[in-house]
């Protein structure tokens, strides 16, 4: 039996943490406490160990997910076997919504990056809630609109910008999420390369370029943005 199989499952999410995560999610943020509790009462609480699948492209999209703890990567596999990370989601973020309402299969893979605690709600149960509360439907529309903007920006970034500009965009986003210009990168360099649509060697050259121009420093996984304004200019025009 593998070491992974012997590892304990992440603990089930507490109701307090689950409610806090629902409240922070764009899709559910407009709901009052009673409506949030109604959503939670209809949720499952799945957990995944690091590296385990949450869904695959061949699977019917029956449930949408919200992350309570941990991180999930959404990715595709190219015909050559290369991994292209489309997004990394963390606590309070949802994924799988568009596929659920399209009534098809999930369009990509979703894997746990580390141990993950989730909330999951089925299309049927969410439909019952929406039928009883139109405000929930409006909140979902806002959340889906935000996701569409995210993916439109990702498509633009991957198709129109050079690797240093893509890298600058991701580093700025990581700094914003950390609330500091100095942060620990929450992914491997291989994952970072895949996220910006390149390979490790090209990523290393882009990092070296940003360091040589004194825009960043890198010490292991710790990255410091020395000139965020210049990085923002590179991200926008590079």
Q: Which domains does the chain have, with CATH numbers?
A: 3-159 (2.60.120.10), 162-237 (1.10.10.10)
Q: Measure the CA–CA gap between 96 and 99, rounded to whole angstroms.
A: 6
The pLDDT value given to residue 166: 86
Higher pLDDT, 56 or 133: 56
25-26-32 Cα angle (round to 5) = 75
- Tell me the C-alpha distance between 62 and 58, whole Å: 12
Average pLDDT over residues 216-220: 92
Tens of pLDDT along 33-56?
888 898 999 999 999 999 999 999
Instruction: Report which of 54, 66, 69, 71 is spatially closest to residue 27, judged by C-alpha positions.
Output: 66
Query: Residue 118: which pLDDT band, with cuts at 50, 70 and 90?
Result: very high
The answer, yes or no, to whether residue 158 has pLDDT greater than 80, is: no
Instruction: Determine which helix (DSSP H) or strand (DSSP E) holds 235, and give its type and residue range.
Output: helix 228-237
pLDDT score for 1: 45
Rounded distance between C-alpha atoms, residue 160 and residue 4, angstroms: 40
In this structure, the number of other CB atoms found within 10 A of the CB of residue 236 comes to 11
Question: In the structure encoding, which two tokens stand for residue 189, read together?
Answer: 């360099």
**Cα separations (Å) of 83 from 40, 74, 86, 120, 196?**
34, 10, 9, 25, 11
Please say if the pLDDT value at position 57 is more than 90. Answer: yes
- 20: burial class by Cβ within 10 Å (0-12, 13-18, 19+)? middle
Cβ–Cβ < 8 Å for 115, 50:
yes
Tell me the two tokens of residue 43: 């949720």
């Amino acid at each position: 039996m593998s070491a992974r199989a012997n590892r304990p499952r992440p603990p089930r999410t507490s109701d307090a943490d689950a409610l806090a995560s629902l409240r922070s999610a764009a899709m559910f943020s407009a709901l009052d406490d009673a409506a949030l509790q109604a959503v939670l009462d209809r949720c499952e609480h799945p957990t995944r160990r690091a590296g385990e699948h949450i869904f695959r492209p061949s699977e019917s999209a029956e449930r949408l997910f919200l992350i309570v703890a941990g991180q999930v990567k959404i990715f595709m596999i190219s015909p050559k076997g290369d991994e292209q990370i489309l997004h990394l989601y963390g606590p309070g973020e949802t994924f799988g919504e568009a596929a659920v309402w399209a009534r098809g299969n999930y369009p990509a893979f979703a894997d746990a990056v580390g141990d993950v605690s989730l909330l999951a709600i089925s299309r049927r149960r969410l439909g019952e809630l929406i039928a009883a509360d139109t405000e929930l439907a409006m909140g979902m529309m806002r959340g889906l609109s935000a996701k569409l903007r995210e993916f439109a920006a990702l498509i633009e970034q991957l198709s129109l910008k050079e690797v240093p500009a893509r890298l600058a965009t991701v580093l700025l986003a990581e700094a914003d999420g950390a609330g500091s210009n100095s942060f620990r990168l929450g992914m491997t360099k291989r994952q970072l390369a895949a996220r910006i649509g390149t390979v490790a060697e090209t990523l290393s050259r882009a990092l070296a370029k940003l360091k040589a121009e004194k825009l960043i420093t890198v010490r292991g996984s710790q990255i410091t943005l020395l000139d965020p304004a210049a990085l923002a200019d590179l991200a926008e025009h590079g």
